[in-house]
Structure 1
């Protein structure tokens, strides 16, 4: 059996699953400290009749902790930034495009050093060990314990980043090191940004993993802990300590995966309506379509794998602005919905009140919204319906209409049909689809880098190398070796670089290995 948990801005959801069967589910209010909501959800879930806590094989959690930390600029560790690229790249130093508030929050110690490679792996300049030893001395003097290392074209040749990490660790053995070739894609500034974000979250990751583990012990569960990644797969607690940045956008991804599972619709648009926001994404083969370029998180441009999702401030707790200009959201009462909404005896007109007044939902006390003007209610429902329809239309990449799966507790706001949509599905357990998506998660590994095709290195050999590397990364992350399959492969010729260069993206996915035997290769490409 597995437990899936998803922490949202309004609700914390939890499900207990035996294979593909949902045995129990619970939805509780997210608490200000978040952790209290997780413990409360687990206690209620595991209090269900016939639950044997010792039979739980794993607990999978989707969390917004790390995203919130970056957006708010809180709980970020002082970070060292080492770029290998001199004499090139000095015109645009690290963090040149960061918001000043975030740059101040991480108190960055920036160092430009010699090194880096051309696109075909040739060195720009040799690495200088003495230069890096001086950097280590300055980091120690500043009390910095986490460092981001980036090197020009390190996804092509990672040797300089690895050698630099060895030198710094020899000087400072307790240093947390994040290397850009393990985190981001081709594109120096965006990959470097992603690595810096990861480095400044390393200390918080230790605290969060330990707090989650303590929450499980508090309710008597000794099963392994896994966290959801932003591509729909899982990573274990130790992987989370090293790569907290991979949890960004895990909430929308979990909802999409859960929707595909519940509705048996591997190719569709998913509309996840929560208490605060609505997320719209597209599933291809049961996994969220990935964004093709850079994404902006808290004002920082990064280029690691992220789902292609449109998010708007529309949910069950959204405040309704009355005529003459009727709008719903983006302001929301959030987790205070059960105190603030009219149907719960509050004084705020919310989207949930409109749904109850229109007969779309049976929540709270319907008599408390009978006085609402019928024209106001109808216009409000029509406004929300059109808003959702427009978002789905924006996500299409072809003229073919997409079926829609509605999930999330706030999906009650929308009627059973949408204009121009061929079919709308609202499956059983739709309110906890995000927690189900976490529970059914698999383990993945991906490769996204440039390869040079030469007379001695054919296209077929390049693709096979990329496939093998993706499979190895999935196994290192905790996938059972015999179950890993390639689910995505993309090959793009890069015309603006000299030579026969090709960018290859490969994703491998496998079933979770609960025996603990699949992590033997982790140290080959992961650092402290």
Structure 2
């Protein structure tokens, strides 16, 4: 029998599980996340193998959800120096690349940028001839100075030929070892936001390589040599390691979506709120047909506006390690946390820092650590703090709902033991078995997806032909990401007529989902 390992790296804990082909749970663990991340992953794998008795050679697949790339952007570290080419002169000269970027992030990635002639209208009509000579010149200029290049062409989701030609020219000048990110493969309609997403993707080249290589090393250190490796995307699905190297920006915000998918899987519920409480933050997402609801807002990543897909999540500073200050009339809850140091610094574990976990134990909500170490805290004061913690969650739930009607809420994450069994605005509080490792289960059972966003001018094609083309492109993208072709199906399609454009233009979005391998069962047991 073969097995698969799923790992989700959080700010406080690294959670891991082993499942078999029938989705039976054979082992689970939570270990402290280490500063180098890889150490925690390696230890989690060691514990799983030791507890389950499963041999390393029996592990056929390994899945990872991590904040590695998110942290690289937020912390301005491990980012690659890149060149940027925008194709669209003279029509797009008014606003240069990197407009409104935070200065420190700009300095971390900038190696040069240029705007060259070329590009298309939304109808596919050419704006101007592609300036191949300038692209070659910039490639020669950046030789030895950049790790990647980001290429964006005006309306490339309609006609990507200029971006593809630019990639060919740059590879001839720079060599195959320099990664080329193309905007039509990453972002949606909207030149500047799509360009920003492409620049971020290119800047994560080295971080992505470290992420994948570190995971491979952690597996090898435990004797797992031949497992297929996958990483989670921010829509709750998976991609191959090679796909992740090409599109590392898709891993951003993938952690909370793993919890949302895991919660749905554990409960067999496809429409609900999911409240994921970790050691540092609480993340609230919305399940829609078993997948996280996508945000309709412009995504801000590290202070940069982008327009690629992002889950609709609300995160705030409340977790098991959240610091509590000022017991009394005006207590302060967070937003900072002791994180993975909770087991050393929290009062209930013999430390000296008052945390949310200490308060939950003091009021009798949770049974962890040594309750005697918080018995001296004034009952009225800790009750006041606990009430404030509960109200924070209830207000956040209210913000995520689309109506005033109560909805079911699934509580997952190790920190969910802090929350009561009744919440305002919630029809039912659900605590599934294995709730504390829902994120790791979510990444282990995830499917593979492909998504397409295109504008079509349907003067020459019928609506049925456009629908078929968009769906086939989405299916092909899912297969490229690692899905078995025979399992892929369209799960969502959106058609938006663009009345403000001539030519009967329409915007089409399609999402296809498939399996990594045949699945015989869809419910966790064990």
Length-normalised TM-score, structure 2: 0.96
The 3 A distance-change label for structure 1 pair 400 and 504 is farther
SS at match of 2:402: coil
In 2, Cα distance between equivalents of 1:132 and 1:51: 53
Specify the SS of the correspondent of 2:387: helix
Q: Paired residue for 1:296? A: 300
Q: For residues 289 and 496 of structure 2, what CA distance do their matches in structure 1 show?
A: 21
Alignment match, 2:376: 371
* Structure 1 partner of 2:70: 67
Residues 373-412 of structure 1 correspond to what in structure 2 (within 5 A)?
373-412=378-417
Contact 1:381/1:414 (8 A) holds in 2: no
Q: Confirm whether residue 16 of structure 1 aligns to residue 21 of structure 2.
A: no
Alignment-derived partner of residue 435 in structure 2: 430
Distance 1:33 1:203 in 2: 16
Query: What SS does the aligned partner of 2:51 have?
Result: coil
By how many angstroms is 1:328 displaced? 1.6
Distance 1:211 1:38 in 2: 9
Q: Deviations over 1:448-503 (max 9, x none)?
A: 1211122x311111111100100011111111111111111111122332221111
Please name the residue that 2:170 is paired with.
Answer: 168
Using the alignment, how far apart are the partners of 2:116 and 2:161 within structure 1? 15
Query: What whole-Å deviation, never above 9, does each CA across 1:502-524 have from its counterpart, x for those lacking one?
Result: 1111110000049xxxxxxxxxx
SS for the counterpart of 1:272 is strand
Q: Secondary structure at the match of 1:231?
A: coil
Distance 1:64 1:315 in 2: 17
Task: Report the Cα distance in structure 2 between the residues aligned to 1:184 and 1:42, rounded to whole angstroms.
Answer: 35
Residue by residue over 1:265-305, the C-alpha shift from the partner in whole angstroms, topping out at 9 and shown as x without a partner, is 11000000000000001010110000123100110111111
User: Match for residue 90 of structure 1?
Assistant: 93
* Selected match of 2:118 from 110, 115, 118: 115
- Structure 1 stretch displaced more, 206-215 or 149-158: 206-215
Equivalent positions of 1:140-155 (< 5 A) are 140=143, 143-155=145-157
What per-residue deviation string (whole Å, max 9, x for no partner) do you get for residues 88-121 of structure 1? 1111000012101000011231011011111111
Distance 1:134-1:49 versus aligned 2 partners, 3 A rule: closer
Q: Note the 1:103-142 alignment, pairs <5 A.
A: 103-140=106-143
Deviation at 1:145, TM superposition (A): 2.8
Task: Please tell me whether the aligned partners of residues 338 and 344 of structure 1 are also in contact (alpha carbons under 8 angstroms).
Answer: yes
Instruction: Pick the aligned partner of 2:491 from 487, 492, 502.
Output: 487
Contact 1:113 1:131 in 2 (8 A): yes
Q: TM-score scaled to structure 1, two decimals? A: 0.95
Q: What secondary structure sits across from 2:407 in the alignment?
A: coil
Checking the alignment, whether the CA contact within 8 Å between 2:397 and 2:425 is kept in structure 1 is no
Match of 1:352 among 336, 339, 357: 357
| Partner of residue 450, structure 2 | 445
Q: How does 1:115-264 map to 2 (within 5 A)?
A: 115-140=118-143, 143-174=145-176, 175-222=178-225, 223-264=227-268
Number of equivalenced pairs: 512
User: Moved runs in structure 1, 4+ residues, more than 4 A?
Assistant: none
Distance across 2 between alignment mates of 1:400 and 1:459: 38
1:207 deviates by 2.2
Which SS does the other structure have where 1:226 is aligned? strand
Correspondence list, 1:310-321, <5 A? 310-321=314-325
CA displacement at 1:314 relative to structure 2: 0.6
8 Å CA contact 2:323, 2:334 repeated in 1 = yes
Contact (CA 8 Å) 2:398, 2:425: kept in 1 or not? no
| Aligned equivalents of 1:12, 1:227: Cα separation in 2 | 15
Q: Secondary structure at the match of 1:403?
A: strand
Q: Is 1:462 aligned to residue 439 of structure 2? A: no
- Three-state SS of the structure 2 residue aligned to 1:47 is helix
Question: Which consecutive unaligned segments of at least 5 residues does structure 2 have?
Answer: 519-526
Distance 1:419 1:399 in 2: 11
1:34-53 paired onto structure 2 within 5 Å: 34-53=37-56
